[in-house]
Amino acid sequence: MGILDWAIWDMLKVKILSNKYIDLDLWSGIHFLAGIIIVIFLSFFTKNPLIIIGVLFGILLFWEIFEISVSGITDPPLLNEGLLNAFTDIWIGLLAGIITLMIILGIGFFSKTN
């Protein structure tokens, strides 16, 4: 990795909110965007909300397991986030995906009433 890559990496690890319940950093914004993009992509194939959210959850969970697995084999540890951050990233991605799906399907606050 070049110096610029390390600077960007370090910037994304800046904490926004961190306590015993949530560990939100700038990198969580990437997971938020991923939730939106994945749901938009999946909505082209199905409009079933259970399938879309299930697949989104599976992708987000797989990615966090991958990040935790890789953090132990890189030197220096690039993805050393912690379990709380992994859970936070999954919930952030799911939240973004659910809101996006509600907009696409016109559910709840986003219903198309005349």
pLDDT digits over 53-88, tens only? 999 999 999 988 887 777 665 545 555 567 888 888
Q: Higher-confidence residue: 18 or 72?
A: 18
> String of b and e for 87-97 (b: at least 16 CB within 10 Å)?
ebbbbbbbebb
Q: Where do the structural domains in the chain lie, given as residue ranges?
A: 3-110
Look up residue 101 and give its two tokens: 């799906």
What is the rounded CA–CA span in Å between residue 83 and residue 68?
A: 8
